[in-house]
Structure 1
């Protein structure tokens, strides 16, 4: 009950809790890291998205310079985790591709929304001329009462500007699940919007919600995968 109560406090308060939970579970085979390690296959699909990932693989293998940028909210920024998912992904890829010249820049801002990301897109993403961009928004739009149609408009414009800016590869991330059924129902509505925008714009989709669900189905505890604010992934969840 304490976790549920703290979750509702987070949804409706303006400030995020500062208490942190550093999970001792080993950080290997974490959901997002595995996902990127095997290059982005979607939940339920039999094989990786090889057509999309092939040029990325080739650049990493050959040592061609690569700039990746992740834009998002506190989940991207790594709040309540001992590290950011971008750090973990870069570590894995450098291990797998010794010649890689990869710079993975993190443009996560705690508390940000899709509208906020749109407003800072030029400064934080387009100005860096990235080869790959990861986009993760939704939790704060939900928490702050942004209407689904407004969230859809903001995210669509953001993706449209990325495409107009000539970004070769774009991945959208769904947001994570929690242990409250009503919240998950609302999160699923936002995630459906994210899926539709990804499909309409030929973007890759990294289904965080689906991978957390899959992990719990295979015996992992959501308590272990999430920090104790029940929003941000813990070290194990990263």
Structure 2
């Protein structure tokens, strides 16, 4: 037992123990996790969270708390364990892509009202512990025509017609993120706007030609991940 205790102490001292505190936590879904990288054979070190860790070695330790397929509702269930208990100084919050998915009953997986409520909850709890929340908008999806491997091959176009298409509908969730950032005086990385600017437009053809988004239509390539990494680096949020 004594030997085990000594080993645990050494691990904790090295930042590997169960009570490890992180400088920052990236909290979100598959675009935070970089869940598509192994599926597409993209280099692991080019995920945006990994790029932050590599560039900030010895200064910042960013924990990746992204889980593919999750909404803010899912994230709320694990928020304390995956975020608050790590005592981060900064928390990057990037949800919305899965919240905005419209189901066959015509309703989104997470309503806009609940999406807003969950984000406000995250912000409030982070600030109570003296941390800095940073909101990140989601990427502009490539809709496709339903016969390729893009967004409409998995989700029915008909459910998005009222919102002038899935891309505009997704951006309406981003508008909630932007509004909260303004009203709550929270830092914002507008990843949507940055990617559209880099692509030279927000049409399917613009986005496809940019190489920022993979064939799923709603996940970043390494090039897209680097846009987010550079935006965070240039913002001087992590010091």
- Relative to the length of structure 2, the TM-score reads 0.65
Instruction: Provide the secondary structure at the position in 2 that maps to 1:106.
Output: strand
The CA RMSD measured in Å over matched residues stands at: 2.1
Cα 1:102–1:233 change in 2 (3 A) is same
Aligned to 2:30: 74
**1:193 CA displacement:** 0.4
Aligned to 2:64: 106
Report matched runs for 1:9-48 at 5 Å: none
Which structure carries more relative contact order (alpha carbon 8 Å, separation 6+)?
Answer: 1
Measured in 2, the distance between the counterparts of 1:194 and 1:77 equals 20
Measured in 2, the distance between the counterparts of 1:176 and 1:80 equals 14
Measured in 2, the distance between the counterparts of 1:80 and 1:151 equals 24
Aligned to 1:233: 220
Measured in 1, the distance between the counterparts of 2:81 and 2:183 equals 25
Measured in 2, the distance between the counterparts of 1:117 and 1:158 equals 9
Aligned to 2:125: 161
State which structure, 1 or 2, has the greater radius of gyration over its C-alpha atoms: 2
Cα 1:93–1:221 change in 2 (3 A) is farther
Instruction: Provide the secondary structure at the position in 2 that maps to 1:228.
Output: coil
Instruction: Provide the secondary structure at the position in 1 that maps to 2:219.
Output: coil
Q: Is this contact kept in 1: 2:22–2:63, CA < 8 A?
A: no
Measured in 1, the distance between the counterparts of 2:118 and 2:24 equals 22
The one-character-per-residue Cα deviations of 1:159-194 (angstroms, maximum 9, x if unpaired) are 111112221x22100000023361121112101100
Measured in 2, the distance between the counterparts of 1:86 and 1:235 equals 11
Paired residues, what number?
A: 168
Structure 2: stretches of 5+ with no match in the other structure: 1-20, 103-107, 144-163, 226-239
**Structure 1 residue runs of 4 or more that deviate by more than 3 Å after TM superposition:** none
1:90 counterpart = 2:21: no
- Structure 1 stretch displaced more, 79-88 or 129-138: 79-88
Measured in 1, the distance between the counterparts of 2:35 and 2:186 equals 26
Cα 1:229–1:189 change in 2 (3 A) is same
The one-character-per-residue Cα deviations of 1:89-130 (angstroms, maximum 9, x if unpaired) are 222334xxxxx3321100001111111212211100111110
